[in-house]
Amino acid sequence: MAVLRVKFTKTKRDKLAQVLWILNWISVVTGIILFSLGLFLKVEINKRGELMAERDVQYVPNMLIAVGLIACAINFLGGKICYDCVDTTKFLRWKLIMLPYIMCTFFFTFCVLVGALMCYTTHGELEESLNLGLTQAVRFYKDTDMPGRCFLKRTVDMLQIEFRCCGNNGYKDWFQIQWVSNRYLDMSQKEVLDRFRSNVEGKYLMDAVPFSCCNVNSPRPCIQQQITNNSAHFNYEHQTEEQNLWMKGCRHALLEYYTHIMQSIGLTVLITWLFELSVLTGVRYLQTSLENVLRQGDPNSESEGWLLENSFMETARTNLNIIKSLGKSNQIDTANNGDPNINVPSTSRAHYGPDNVPPKQIPDTS
């Protein structure tokens, strides 16, 4: 029994072909949109590539770019097919192509769905990439005179100013690293030397943060030095002065930023998938109804269209049997050591007589 069987008149078939022609061209536009969204996401990730570890976060924009390009090609071909299918006689040139086209389009729509799901499932990889990348960036903040790292200070400062964040997980991250270069420290001062000697690793650590961590909305001047020393500042309590510095860590801020972008893109891709699925359904109805018209021989007659000629179970069983038969045809008879001619009798073993009897069994009449 056919699945979702629908009857079509000649007028309905023509209108269906015309509507599908328009929808396919709209799908070409959606393909361009998918390509643009993937390109935008790729640019946004590369813009802050110095702050990310080399993790598998690029496959999401790459997937969207590939899906967008494929959507343009497939739907352009689909528009041409649907335009020709308005005339039943022109359908003959596409008759053998439509079923493979529908199968390829079905696989493509599945890829669109995968692309939408990927936008929602990359949170863990993105967070790990940002955590490792920001840890390295903060550690190399002071290396302004080292090739390959000289721009990290500016990058981190601009990041903290733009996203109103401080450190990787928070402002206290700066307490655990030496973020001031030795070239800007006066080694003749006892205080500086004492700080170096007090640290096991010989680093200059202090309870201070870079200027970019300062909250510009704070009612008092920013306190960057001796943040945890209440007596060093008038009317100051570092545990309550939360407005003086940005409290949010940059990893959390960037994660929120990229998650918002990916979720918005994922919703757009999901809507595109539903649209592509509806177009594919219409093309399938058009194909089956036109094939039934050809069987009837009357181009103006009514015809039936369906999604599947048989039920889901019968279709799955048929396809499974086809796969099994293909597998059996490729198997080698291992019981016969792989020799296909082992059971074929050889004519070179003995010379038989005219009555198909071996020579030793032919009586001697002499």
Q: Which of 124, 207, 217 is nearest to 167 (CA)?
A: 207
Same domain? 14 vs 95: yes
42 vs 63: CA distance, rounded Å: 10
- What does the pLDDT read at residue 335? 46
Same domain? 191 vs 58: no
Main-chain phi, psi angles of 26, to 5 degrees = -65, -35
Positions in the chain whose pLDDT score sits under 70: 1-3, 55-56, 200, 240-243, 309-312, 315-316, 318-320, 322-324, 326-366
Domain end point (choices 197, 220, 247): 247
Q: How big, in percent rounded to 5, are the helix, strand and coil portions of the chain?
A: 60, 5, 35
253 vs 151: CA distance, rounded Å: 21
- What does the pLDDT read at residue 327? 61
- What does the pLDDT read at residue 146? 81
The DSSP string of 245-305 is: B--S-HHHHHHHHHHHHHHHHHHHHHHHHHHHHHHHHHHHHHHHHHHHHHHHT-TTS-EEE
- What does the pLDDT read at residue 165? 94
CB 26, CB 268: distance < 8 Å: no
The total of other beta-carbon atoms located within 10 Å of residue 199's CB is 12
Q: Which of 214, 251, 246, 220 is nearest to 234 (CA)?
A: 220
Amino acid at 231: S
- What does the pLDDT read at residue 326? 64
Same domain? 77 vs 54: yes
Q: How far is the CA of 150 from the CAs of 133, 139, 154, 156, in angstroms?
A: 16, 13, 8, 11
Place of tokens 């509507």: 19
Domain end point (choices 261, 286, 307): 307
- What does the pLDDT read at residue 366? 44
Q: Helices marked H in 174-249 — which ranges?
A: 190-198
Helix (H) or strand (E) holding 8: strand 6-8
- What does the pLDDT read at residue 210? 93
Domain end point (choices 230, 247, 264): 247
Owning domain of residue 198: 171-247
The total of other beta-carbon atoms located within 10 Å of residue 118's CB is 18
- What does the pLDDT read at residue 270? 93
pTM of the predicted model as reported, rounded to 2 decimal places: 0.75
- What does the pLDDT read at residue 158? 94
Same domain? 57 vs 9: yes
Same domain? 81 vs 61: yes
- What does the pLDDT read at residue 348? 45
- What does the pLDDT read at residue 341? 52
Q: Is residue 302 part of a domain?
A: yes
Q: Is residue 352 part of a domain?
A: no
Overall residue count recorded for the chain in this entry: 366
Q: Which of 112, 101, 104 is nearest to 79 (CA)?
A: 101
Same domain? 87 vs 229: no
